[in-house]
Amino acid sequence: MDNSAETTDITASSPRKHFHCYLLRSLDPQHPLKTYVGYTTDPIRRLRQHNGELKYGGAKRTARSGRPWQFAAIIDGFQDKVAAMQFEWAWQHTHRSKVFREAVGDDALAKRMKRRRGVRARFDELRVLLGECEPFNSYPLEVYFPEEESHELFCTLMPERDNKAQDIRKKVCPVDEMPFAAATDTRTKKAQKVNGSWAQMHFNLSLFPSAAPSQSRLLGQRRHQSNWALNAVTPQASHFFATSGFNQSDEKSEPEEKSEPEEEKPESPKVEAVEDSEQPAVKIPAKFKPYPFQYHQEFIVTIDALTNLGFGIARIDLDEPHDNPVADGDDSDEASNDPKKWVVFVPNVIPGESARIRIYRNYATYSDADLLEIIEASPDRIEPKCDLANICGGCQYQHITVDRQRQMKTIQVQELFERLGGLKADEFPSVLPTLGTDEVFGYRSKITPHYDAPLKKKGTKKNKDGNYKGISCEIGPIGFKEKASRRLVDVPYCHIATPDINEALARVRDETRQTAREGKLKKPTKGATLLLRDAGDGVETDHNVYVKTTVKDLVFRFKAGNFFQNNPFMLPKMVDLVVDAATIPSPSGKAMTHLIDCYCGSGLFAIGSSSSFEACVGIEVNEMAVEEARENAALNGIENCAFVSASAEAIFDPVTLEGRSDLVVGDFPKETTVVVVDPPRKGCSVEFLEQLNEYKPQRVVYMSCDPATQARDAKYLVSYGYEIVSVQPFDLFPQTRHIECLATFELKD
């Protein structure tokens, strides 16, 4: 199958290459893949690729195994690539095609046909497609068979339906008279005889009519509006058994019982398909998968909820159940298990809104759509402050009031703990309202805009050293990725960044572009990420320069490129709540005396809590961050903190910390020890959680930047005998989908 990434213009009328669909069969009886369906402009070259004779091009999967392959049939007469691609898709996915299922008269039979293997099964499907399924039954197609005996497996085609529909012809010719039989050397153009080996023959275009086939009545200028394969309905579909030679010897089945006709169900009030006539001509990407919707098919839908990525969830009723009801990657509880509901993700919407959307990508279990128009707006919808808010991937919620943003984040955390944590609402305290500050814009103290590989002028040559250093080039957009693609959006001003960063951003953008024009980029053939860190006394752009920031009268020194929380307005409140959660006396009334800070980074929580504990120990896998934590403890005159560079699992090993013979974590009193956990987005490792269970500290204070993985880990902690005391979300990054969350776990008596 040709997996070209090119975009096909379905409305153009210029001449195109000659496209064919083909059916291959494996000559290896032991190979599990018996047949293969594809489309191509050169069947013989394609066959050589399948057989591994050509080391370039497609068909790599079949070329690695299952050789040799042989043609069983070639279908000729397609108007263009789109028509061939649509036919090939319908042949490969007959069990999903509505028109195919109606043609055979039974959904279960269509699925059984797909499960059958071998050439006979594929021929039975081909007969239905050509004889019963619109628009293929009106295409001027011809079927060629390479061997005399092959055509006998192919059922007799339906007679011509009317004068408008062109007859579909079956070609059975002697080998020396078939268009595919004349072996031609592609370099010398001399005819060669190849002992009748179909795998060695070159395709001879000269034996085909020079004029392209005429447009069928379903194509023409309205080809983009034709409902091919999936959505077309044959007006009077006859039962498959009544007209075909479908051979049931491959699979015995009981006679199908006649079912009563189903009553017509009223159309769902929240989903309305927009008529095809309203859609303009579009270009269909070659890799677009047309199930269950056509490219740029439009609907009016109601938004049910939001995913944890900030996309709205809409559900569209399907005429027939689909095989995979749950959407991949959907971390909300909104993935429908109803096989007649199809999930569609839409950006820039609010739950409860009615919107007009347009499909642009189909996945195996869900679809992506663009937002075209808000039909019925939510009372919480506002005008975004940023002109780029609808396309830039940096912010997801600028169109929503801050109060509604925080309400949605609270609900999302509650649902994650119930679903991924496997907890019932009455088994743990309700999630507290999301805590935020008044600074909802201009709060972010670090941004990292990107640019792609610079563009060189046409004809630019490498320098004498064989590279592009010193060569002038141009930089395109400098900014952040789009919401639904990897393309960059040019961002000259970021509204959630601090004013000092935005002032420096204009200068950095100009300097970067000027550096590229002067040929002074360090890596002129690659894109790069810029850094702007506001440390309070200026904006730093060098990753390796040390900066300082103050949190609750404590000074922290770290490299500008290293991780440190990026909202200086929210950070003091987060530290206060961590300290409060860690220092509350145990249920037995004992004061907490020791703190272990896992994934400690530059020592923020350990140093911030040090005055409330006898001893604090931090562990971090990043050696540079550990050095910074030690320096920060010394910088603030703190002597009861020690830090070690290792993975978090090693913190419970009974070893003495470097330079601190008085601090042995294994000797800490478990009943008065609290473990603070602040892992990366992926959460805690299973090894760490198991060792935490063996150590059994009295309390675990878990800070997370991804409540989904936090809820997953909470399930482990609850199974280890801990109970959830509180769950507090933070709106650390207003206008975005990101949630910081603090959960406190106490060991049961």
CA angle, corner 226, sides to 221 and 227, nearest 5? 175
Q: In what order do the strands lie in the sheet with 446-447?
A: 446-447, 532-534, 539-540
How far, in Å, CA of 172 to CA of 180, rounded? 12
User: Token pair of 17, please?
Assistant: 């290459």
- Residue burial 498-533, b: 16+ Cβ < 10 Å; e: rest: bebbbebbeebbeebbebbeeeebeebeeebebbbb
Residues 6 or more apart in contact with residue 468 via CB below 8 angstroms: 456, 460, 462, 519, 524, 525
Which structure tokens are listed for 366?
A: 């869900």
For residue 321, the SS3 value is: coil
Question: And the tokens for 322?
Answer: 């689909």
Sign of the torsion formed by the C-alpha atoms of 190, 193, 197 and 198: positive
Nearest to 613 by CA among 590, 640, 578: 640
Catalytic residue among 705, 723, 741, 746: 705
Structure tokens at 345: 């993700």
324: tokens are: 């995979």
Verify whether residue 705 is a known catalytic residue: yes
Q: Among 125, 298, 649, 740, which one carries the catalytic annotation?
A: 740
- Residue among 368, 351, 271 nearest 306 (CA): 351
Strand, coil or helix: 50: helix
> Is the four-CA dihedral 286, 292, 298, 304 of positive or negative sign?
negative
Task: Give the CB-side neighbour count of residue 408, counting CA atoms within 13 A.
Answer: 28
Cα 467 to chain centroid, rounded = 35
d(C-alpha 76, C-alpha 90), whole Å: 16
Q: In what order do the strands lie in the sheet with 142-144?
A: 35-40, 20-26, 69-76, 142-144, 169-171
Question: Which residues have C-beta within 8 Å of that of residue 526, sequence separation ≥ 6?
Answer: 453
Sheet strands (E) in 146-221: 169-171, 183-184, 191-192
Tokens of 347: 């950006």
Instruction: Name which of 1, 96, 68, 90 is nearest 40 in CA terms.
Output: 1
Which active-site residues does the annotation give? Answer: 705, 740
